[in-house]
Amino acid sequence: MPTAEDNRITLHGFNNLTKTLSFNMYDICYTKTKEEREAYIAYIDEQYNSDRLTSILSAVSGLIGAHVLNTAKQDYVPQGASVTLLVSEGPVVEVPEASYEESPGPLPGNVVMQLDKSHVTVHTYPEYHPSEGISTFRADIDVSTCGEISPLKALNYLIRSFDTDIMTIDYRVRGFTRDINGEKLFIDHDINSIQNYIPEEIVRQYDMIDVNVYQEHIFHTKCRLREFDLNNYLFGYGKEQLSPEEQEAITRQLKAEMDDIFYGKNRA
């Protein structure tokens, strides 16, 4: 069996390919009253404030073997937060075989490979319906790298860092680099699907749809949580405090909201 070292491409100079992972997640909640809505948004704002988001992005930087050069973070009024890390090449370690295979990435504590000047960003967007009792929280994370590592290796950790009902994941490779013979390389690793970078136990929890443009090195995966437990979508109380009719109406409303987000259009 070929080793990771055997699979490495010998390049002329630095690897100039830019690889970008965009991870977009949604958390959905039913908030019947204004007080419930305000409490939910306050909870989300505290749970995903700029300090915690900085900690998550710092762990991502460690996973892809990067040094953090600069951190910019901001908590917004009335809600939301943003963090941007400028990162550069980190410690160079022996290249693990998994870096050349479609497989889930490691969790914090493992340096994977090397990269050069790159960035990691996150923005959060709490919002709510003006009248129907639905509140949502969205986080957008971009991991952009130059060098050998694919930022898809950070996906496993990102999924585990958020309580996620719906995920939209994009991966694209831009630019080109050259091998020692001067031949242009527009991608330096095989990829069939983003799903192959998600652990099997997580894949089993979600319905997933791929929309890929292989010839353009564009990969897109949408994920929606399969199991629905109404208790996971009520803030501050349980479904046993609702009548069967209320449970049915709220369930229908929440599932319609999830359909809208998953399919990217109003389906009612």
Show the beta-strand stretches assigned E in 154-202.
166-174, 177-178, 184-185
CB contact at 8 A, 179 and 12: yes
CB contact at 8 A, 18 and 185: no
Encoded tokens for 161: 């860092």
Biggest alpha carbon–alpha carbon distance for the chain: 72
Paired residues of 167 in beta bridges: 25, 223
DSSP state letter for 268: -
Pairing of strands 18-30, 134-146: antiparallel
CB contact at 8 A, 212 and 12: no
Helix (H, G, I), strand (E, B) or coil at 156: helix
Q: Please give the positions annotated as active site.
A: 118, 123, 146
Question: DSSP labels for 213-256?
Answer: BGGGTEEEEEEEE----GGGGBSSS-GGGS-HHHHHHHHHHHHH
Give the span between the Cα atoms of 266 and 51, in whole angstroms. 35
